[in-house]
Each structure stands twice: as structure tokens, then as C-alpha cells.
Chain A
Amino acid sequence: QVQVVESGGGVVQPGRSLRLSCVASGFTFNSHGMHWVRQAPGKGLEWVSVISRDGSIKYYADPVKGRFTISRDNSKNTLYLQMNSLRAEDTAMYYCAKPRSPGIAAAAVSWGQGTLVTVSS
């Protein structure tokens, strides 16, 4: 069955960097765009970024533009989120999600369990 598993979260100081990973299985990874979505503690969902199936198209939410970079390695079935210049407001659970169809505009149907990022001194 479809599975996506995030890792790489942890406690990091403001201004530092962190890289999240998401390993996918159970579907043809290189046929689907992929999303990152985050949720601050006790708050709602916030879309972060999306990447096309071949990695050529990338979009970012305004709060992370210029600081976060989404990428993928289709040979490893792995999605990444490089997070630089981290701020306290980046503290959140970060979810990786697979759209229900190949395009990047499709609804996110398969979600991981999330990986928690805490930005604190």
C-alpha cells in the first residue's frame, strides 16, 4: 500500500538549518508531484511547497520563499525539504503528502505521520 515516511525533524536554534526527508513506497514515485504541509502546535494546516514529478517545477508558500528548498531523488524514492534561516514561527509538524493524481494541483490523498521541527534557543 502507499506509504510516505518523514524523518529529520528535531530541535534547532534560530538561524540554523535542517533537512527533512520523506521516503515513499507503494506507488510509482517518479510519476507524482509531492507536497510538504506543516501544522504549528494547536494551529491549522499550512501548505509549504510542492514539486513536480521530474523536479522541474517548484512552488513555495510566501513565508518560506527564499529560505526553504524542495527537491527529490527519484532513484531513491525520496522527497526533501531543506530549511535554512529557521525562525521560531517555523516550529511545526511537517507532513509529506502524495497527490491523488500525477499533477501538482491534485488533492493530497496520502500523508505521512509527520516529523516535528522545533526552532528554539
Chain B
Amino acid sequence: DIQMTQSPSSLSASVGDRVTITCQASQDISNYLNWYQQKPGKAPKLLIYDASNLETGVPSRFGGSGSGTDFSLTISSLQPEDIATYYCQQYDTLSMFTFGPGTKVDLK
């Protein structure tokens, strides 16, 4: 099965900071990588699909990149409403869907 790792597991940043979260797959997953945001007590929200495509309605300060095994989610200018936990998720034909362990982002 494909394993997903994320780093860091948590981070503190200031409003306006550029924030980058990385996600690594244990095998090549091409661009089958999605990013979700989850706020406490809420359902996850899709931010980025297929590694780099911004979901409709998601602010343009969010961006995704990568292919193969290494991916990243970038928030170009952190806003207070971005405080959340972020998960990557991969798709493959054997293990289907696997989420990363999550990265918790809070304000410094």
C-alpha cells in the first residue's frame, strides 16, 4: 500500500506569511493528489485537486504543485481564516484513497 507523509506536523505563522506544507508518497502517484482543509468541528473542504488545480471558490492564495512522489501546498499570504488542519490525499488503483496524517496551522 502507498503511504503518505506530511511535514511539518504543525506550524505557527504570522498573518501575511508564506506557508508551505509538503506531502510525500511512498510510490509514484503521478498527479493523483488532493489537498483538503479542515477546521475544528467542521467537515473537510477540498482546496486543490490533481496536485495543482484550484477548486472553484477557493481563494487564489492557495496553490498546489508537484508530481510523482513529492507535492506541496502553499498559502501565499496566511490569513486568520486559514487556521486549520490540512490533509493531502492520494488515489491509486490498489489502496484506493489514502490521507496524509495532517498538518495543523495556527497563528504565531
Check if B68 is an interface residue, CB within 8 A of chain A.
Answer: no
| A-B interface pairs (CB < 8 A), number | 53
Choose the segment among A14-22, A78-86, A108-116 that binds chain B (4+ C-beta atoms closer than 8 Å).
Answer: A108-116
A107 to B46, CA, bound (A): 8
Contact B44–A111 (Cβ < 8 Å): yes
Residues from chain A with Cβ under 8 Å of B100 in the complex: 44
Check if A73 is an interface residue, CB within 8 A of chain B.
Answer: no
Check if B87 is an interface residue, CB within 8 A of chain A.
Answer: yes
Contact A112–B97 (Cβ < 8 Å): no
A45 vs chain B, min Cβ distance (A) = 4
A66 vs chain B, min Cβ distance (A) = 16
Interface of chain B residues 63 through 107 with chain A (CB within 8 A): 85, 87, 89, 91, 96-102
B28 vs chain A, min Cβ distance (A) = 16
Contact A114–B43 (Cβ < 8 Å): yes
Check if B62 is an interface residue, CB within 8 A of chain A.
Answer: no
Given A47-B96, A100-B46, A100-B49, do A109 and B38 touch, yes or no (CB 8 Å)? no
Contact B55–A59 (Cβ < 8 Å): no
Check if A88 is an interface residue, CB within 8 A of chain B.
Answer: no
Quick one: which of A44, A105, A112 contacts B43, CB cutoff 8 A? Answer: A112
Residues from chain B with Cβ under 8 Å of A68 in the complex: none
Given A45-B36, A45-B87, do A106 and B49 touch, yes or no (CB 8 Å)? yes
CB closest chain-A residue, reference B85 = A44
Check if A117 is an interface residue, CB within 8 A of chain B.
Answer: no
Contact B32–A105 (Cβ < 8 Å): yes
B44 vs chain A, min Cβ distance (A) = 6
CB closest chain-B residue, reference A104 = B96
Contact A47–B98 (Cβ < 8 Å): yes
CB closest chain-A residue, reference B94 = A59
Further 12 A-B residue pairs, CB within 8 A, beyond A108-B36, A108-B44, A109-B46 = A35-B97, A44-B85, A45-B99, A45-B102, A47-B96, A47-B99, A50-B97, A105-B91, A107-B34, A107-B46, A108-B34, A113-B43
